[in-house]
Amino acid sequence: MSQVPCYTIINSPDLEVPNEMQLKQDLEKGDTNHKIETLKKVIKLLLNGERYPGLIMTIIRFVLPVQDHTIKKLLLIFWEIVPKTSGDGKLLQEMILVCDAYRKDLQHPNEFLRGSTLRFLCKLKEPELLEPLMPAIRACLDHRHSYVRRNAVLAIFTIYKNFDWLVPDGPELIANFLDTQQDMSCKRNAFLMLLHADQERALNYLASCIDQVHSFGDILQLVIVELIYKVCHANPAERSRFIRCIYNLLNSSSNAVRYESAGTLITLSLAPTAIKAAASCYIELIVKESDNNVKLIVLDRLIAMKENENMEKVMQDLVMDVLRVLAAPDIEVRRKALALAMDLVYSRNIGEMVLVLKKEVAKTHNVEHEDTGKYRQLLVRTLHTCSIKFPDVAATVIPVLVEFLSDTNELAAADVLIFIREAIQKFPALSALIIEHLIEAFPQIKSSKIHRAAVWILGEYVEGPQILEVIDAIQQTLGDIPMVEAEQRRLSGDPTDEQNQQQGGASGDGNSSSTTTTTTTTTTTSNAINKVTSDGTYATQSAYSLAPVAKAEKRPPLRQYLMDGDFFIGAALSATLTKLALRYVELQPESSAQNRLTTRVMLIMSSILHLGKSGFPSKPITNDDTDRIFICLRTLSERTEEAVSVFMRYCREALGKMLDAQHDEDQRVLKEKQRATAKVQPDDPVLFAQLSNGRDNQLGENVFESSLNQALAGTKTAQLSDISSPNNKLNKVTQLTGFSDPVYAEAYVNVNQYDIVLDVLIVNQTNDTLQNCTLELATLGDLKLVERPHPVVLAPHDFCNIKANVKVSSTENGIIFGNIVYDTALNTNVIVLNTIHIDIMDYIIPASCTDTEFRQMWQDFEWENKVTVNTSFTDLHEYLRHLLKSTNMKCLTPEKALSGQCGFMAANMYAKSIFGENALANLSIEKPVDDPDSKVTGHIRIRAKSQGMALSLGDKISSSQKQSVQAA
């Protein structure tokens, strides 16, 4: 069944179908406004599938002669959508009258009427209607107004493309028209027609004015770029003739022309000068364009260029230009620019890149913006990667990064410590410099988590005389020891040692001290505040009648953490002090010095224990922290060989193994990305070196072919071979009615990202003709039916295909249901259809994120769905693989962490939808080790930002589990 061509789609709510007689009366006797409203109603009814053949003559007699411009525009839509042929395919007699009316409109003195009529004629598919109008259309080419002339060119172009026998001299006519035109829109339309109808004439025109191309308008320049691209790909020998023109268009005043020219240049030539010119043009576009979407699109083009090995080498010299993009305020643009620069940087320009990043860090210090924290974190990670990739710059990066430890942004400070931990392990020569800066920054740290990690690094890597320096720094940030006595003195109002030191440092001489005392006394005795009452009189209030306001006590940072009940930092401190004391014992031969330091360290630990049990902190110390501190005390007092080796050697070895595992994982991911794909597909044409002109391999990819391939493949994960496979199509066929029903129906469901196309086959299994056979559909969930399918007439044992389009707006399980209604000679019948379930897996793709990002999203997402594991699998790893396959999720837990058999498995999984929604899952399963036949048990927790995503993913997991149980 051929689809009726229609260019106009008008959205309309459900309308009441009026009587045809009423519509005729309104069109005959109503005034102009009434006719306009009635005509709108008729158009909407026609688009909804209604048929009114009797209205055509009424509209010709009473509406077509009206000269109102609104009616004229509405009539153009009406004649576009109304059926113009009878049942046997012949043109309706009434259309001759319509044709005559439009011939008059083409000769109308108003240029708007002429132009809009010409645009309407582009949509007609009936040569019988167009043939009488050709002289009038040709005459419009000489009209004084450019609006009429450019639409006349479009009309001739469309007619020549569909029915070339109506204008056999079309290309020659338009070529002569092009030579005489000055208006850019007319020249653009004429050149576009020559581009598609007669490329030789288009090339001759371009060759005649190739030196003036830079002065043309942007719309004409875009068509010229398209012509050069097509000609050079069809005939590479023409490149030398036109590539200079593309170079000149890189300097066009239009950003669109520059973008297209740069893309065309790198597909025509892989010469270093061409690549550099195109990349520089892209960078200039990003810097100068204000729209963030444009910046991201052009950045994606640069990243795609970088994937080509030949282009990457040339682009390495443009790293500093890429860093100019960091001036953009958008965090996504900055993230992509930094990632691109990091991939392109090499040993010659790493120093310059680090200087730029240092300046960017300095710019973010006093800037309050919602994305400033994320940007600082991004800069830290980039500097971290620079230092690991190029160890020579690590010494200059470390002082800059250590300043972040006192930052209020805990994530940026945590990234700095991760970098410091890796750098101090991999570059032992820098350990002294790192420790020195870390000790300087230690008192300014504001977060318990950061202090904890910094203490671990200091305890693991400090050696020699710096041991005492670190212990002094720790004691300074802890305050007075023992802490319980200090808190009691503070509570009773007695000055502590810290306050005495502060007062001693503040009073430089006796005079200033006495002056301060006198002033304070005077203020206390005569501090009377005058206040105005409601009636205007003064009231005096003495300082003695005011209630004392308690001031918040300011304690040293580590003491404050302990008073807030965070004794995990106390356990970490104890482990660090134990390592420092054991290392000092190895270095210091004198037993008195050894004992002095050991007792000092043990006093600090016992003081933390005492404070935890005293009741001063907001929360008491936990049993875990108490046990860890007791282990440290016992290790220092007994110094057994096994315990000492754990503190002195095994901790650092564990870190080394973890860093090695991370490096191996990164290398594995990198190899997977670089894994060579098939350079030549089986259906690609074979190139013979003896027959080629030697220039074919110098051309880049064909953009038209690659875009066509992507359109055919639909989603990014689909392959062309899968799309064309008949088995793949059969898997997506859903039976809608039974074989014994009068009408058999089945649907092929084709999901293409945001669109679902239902191709429904309807078969008449009866001996009767079915009139008005209509497919009525409805949706449940975030699905929306675009248009209602038109009714059809089915002969006995005939069949037809009806297509229906559905739009998808979010990742939820959607349902499409409905029925088939048809009329027979006796009555109207309805057949209810089977429901079509839209699978959520068509929208979900695997993705990856860091552990920090996963934890942050897990904390932020409020919707959780807990699914109990009910399966016939007996192996933990097999169940995990089954789960990943059925949910399209990616396992974030490293493979090494999951290896082995211990009877328990915990793994994190992550995926994203094509709509940008995130889905997190945590798998926690177990089985008895001693019983190999026992089934896997446990649960899966799913978290998402939207309720629909969490529920849909849980339903998918439950259904996959049921299928596996039934199969077993």
- Angle, helices 448-461 vs 568-587, to 10°: value is 20
To which H or E segment does residue 360 belong? Answer: helix 350-363
Beta bridge pairs of residue 908: 922
What pLDDT is recorded for position 117?
87
Q: pLDDT digit string (tens) for 816-857?
A: 888 888 888 788 888 898 988 777 677 788 888 888 788 888
Task: Kindly tell me the burial class for residue 782, based on how many C-beta atoms sit within 10 Å of its own C-beta (0-12, 13-18, 19 or more).
Answer: middle
To which H or E segment does residue 529 belong? Answer: strand 528-532
Placement of tokens 């060119």 in the chain: 153
Show the tokens assigned to 673: 């990305």
Q: pLDDT digit string (tens) for 427-449?
A: 778 778 888 888 888 777 777 78
As a whole number, mean pLDDT of residues 388-399 equals 79
* Residue at 407: amino acid letter: D
Confidence of residue 377 (pLDDT cuts 50, 70, 90): confident
SS3 for 198? coil
Show the tokens assigned to 429: 């020569």
Confidence of residue 773 (pLDDT cuts 50, 70, 90): confident
Q: Where are the alpha helices (DSSP H) in 6-51?
A: 20-29, 32-47
What pLDDT is recorded for position 521?
38
Q: How far apart are CA 295 and CA 309, in angstroms?
A: 23
Say if CB 837 and CB 813 are below 8 A apart.
yes
Least confident piece of the model among 331-340, 584-593, 721-730:
721-730
Confidence of residue 673 (pLDDT cuts 50, 70, 90): low
Beta bridge pairs of residue 538: 532
List phi, psi (to 5°) of 79: -70, -20
pLDDT greater at residue 775 or residue 490: 775
**Of 299, 231, 220, 206, the residue nearest 259 (C-alpha):** 299
User: Is residue 481's pLDDT more than 70?
Assistant: yes
What pLDDT is recorded for position 946?
79
Q: How far apart are CA 268 and CA 699, in angstroms?
A: 5
pLDDT greater at residue 668 or residue 37: 37
Q: pLDDT digit string (tens) for 322-369?
A: 888 888 888 888 888 888 888 888 878 788 888 888 888 777 776 666
Placement of tokens 């061509």 in the chain: 5
Instruction: Classify residue 53 by its DSSP letter.
Output: T
Q: How far apart are CA 774 and CA 51, in angstroms?
A: 14
Beta bridge pairs of residue 764: 743
As a whole number, mean pLDDT of residues 188-217 equals 81
Say if CB 780 and CB 814 are below 8 A apart.
yes
Q: pLDDT digit string (tens) for 600-645?
A: 888 888 888 888 888 778 888 888 888 888 888 888 787 777 777 7
Say if CB 809 and CB 782 are below 8 A apart.
yes
Confidence of residue 141 (pLDDT cuts 50, 70, 90): confident
Question: Angle at the Cα of 55 (from 52 to 56), degrees rounded to 5?
Answer: 105
What pLDDT is recorded for position 251?
84
Residues in the chain, how many? Answer: 968
Q: How far apart are CA 456 and CA 912, in angstroms?
A: 36
**Of 162, 164, 169, 229, the residue nearest 201 (C-alpha):** 169
What pLDDT is recorded for position 366?
64
What pLDDT is recorded for position 691?
58
Q: pLDDT digit string (tens) for 853-903?
A: 888 888 888 888 888 888 888 888 888 888 888 888 888 887 777 777 777
User: Is residue 693's pLDDT more than 50?
Assistant: no
Task: Kindly tell me the burial class for residue 175, based on how many C-beta atoms sit within 10 Å of its own C-beta (0-12, 13-18, 19 or more).
Answer: buried
* Residue at 766: amino acid letter: T
pLDDT greater at residue 155 or residue 721: 155
What pLDDT is recorded for position 122?
85
Say if CB 39 and CB 75 are below 8 A apart.
yes
Say if CB 116 and CB 124 are below 8 A apart.
no
For residue 234, what are the contacts with CB-CB under 8 A and spacing of at least 6? none
Show the tokens assigned to 17: 């179908």
Q: pLDDT digit string (tens) for 749-764?
A: 877 666 778 889 999 8
Placement of tokens 């959607």 in the chain: 814
- With helix as H, strand as E and coil as C, how does 777-812 read? EEEECCEEECCCCCCEEECCCCEEEEEEEEEECCCC
Task: Kindly tell me the burial class for residue 773, based on how many C-beta atoms sit within 10 Å of its own C-beta (0-12, 13-18, 19 or more).
Answer: buried
To which H or E segment does residue 937 belong? Answer: strand 937-944
Q: Cα dihedral angle (819, 822, 827, 833), rounded to 10 degrees?
A: -20
SS3 for 728? helix
Confidence of residue 724 (pLDDT cuts 50, 70, 90): very low
Beta bridge pairs of residue 669: none
pLDDT greater at residue 679 or residue 56: 56
Beta-strand ranges (E) seen in 32-74 are none
What pLDDT is recorded for position 92?
77
Percent of the chain clearing pLDDT 70 (strictly above): 82
Instruction: Classify residue 646 by its DSSP letter.
Output: I
The DSSP string of 551-619 is PPPP--HHHHHHHTT--HHHHHHHHHHHHHHHHHHHH---HHHHHHHHHHHHHHHHHHHHHHHHS-SSS
What pLDDT is recorded for position 694?
44
Show the tokens assigned to 351: 């120093």
SS3 for 926? strand
For residue 765, what are the contacts with CB-CB under 8 A and spacing of at least 6? 741, 742, 743, 744, 797
pLDDT greater at residue 113 or residue 6: 113
What pLDDT is recorded for position 429?
80
Residue 592 CB coordination number (10 Å): 8
What pLDDT is recorded for position 319?
83
Beta bridge pairs of residue 942: 865, 921
Task: Kindly tell me the burial class for residue 622, based on how many C-beta atoms sit within 10 Å of its own C-beta (0-12, 13-18, 19 or more).
Answer: middle
End-to-end CA distance of the chain: 45
Q: How far apart are CA 227 and CA 913, in angstroms?
A: 38
Say if CB 827 and CB 780 are below 8 A apart.
no
Q: Identify whether 928 is preceded by a cis peptide bond (ω within 30 of 0).
A: no
For residue 631, what are the contacts with CB-CB under 8 A and spacing of at least 6? 643
As a whole number, mean pLDDT of residues 175-203 equals 82
The CA distances from residue 585 to 439, 592, 600, in Å, are 21, 10, 13
To which H or E segment does residue 192 belong? Answer: helix 184-197
Confidence of residue 546 (pLDDT cuts 50, 70, 90): very low
Q: Is the CA virtual torsion 536, 539, 543, 548 positive or negative?
A: negative
Q: How far apart are CA 591 and CA 605, in angstroms?
A: 21
Beta-strand ranges (E) seen in 824-965 are 828-832, 836-838, 844-846, 863-868, 890-891, 904-913, 918-926, 937-944
SS3 for 818? strand
Say if CB 802 and CB 773 are below 8 A apart.
no
Show the tokens assigned to 628: 């860890």
Q: pLDDT digit string (tens) for 801-812?
A: 888 888 776 666
The CA distances from residue 11 to 5, 40, 82, 469, in Å, are 17, 12, 17, 76
Say if CB 265 and CB 247 are below 8 A apart.
yes
The pLDDT mean for the chain works out to 77
Beta bridge pairs of residue 531: 539
Say if CB 733 and CB 761 are below 8 A apart.
no
CA 804 to chain CA centroid, nearest Å: 29
* Residue at 926: amino acid letter: E
User: Is residue 306's pLDDT more than 80?
Assistant: yes
User: Is residue 544's pLDDT more than 70?
Assistant: no
What pLDDT is recorded for position 698?
45
To which H or E segment does residue 188 belong? Answer: helix 184-197
Indicate left, alpha or beta for 548 from its phi (over 0: left) and psi (-120 to 50: alpha): beta
Task: Kindly tell me the burial class for residue 254, based on how many C-beta atoms sit within 10 Å of its own C-beta (0-12, 13-18, 19 or more).
Answer: middle
As a whole number, mean pLDDT of residues 206-224 equals 79
For residue 657, what are the contacts with CB-CB under 8 A and spacing of at least 6? none
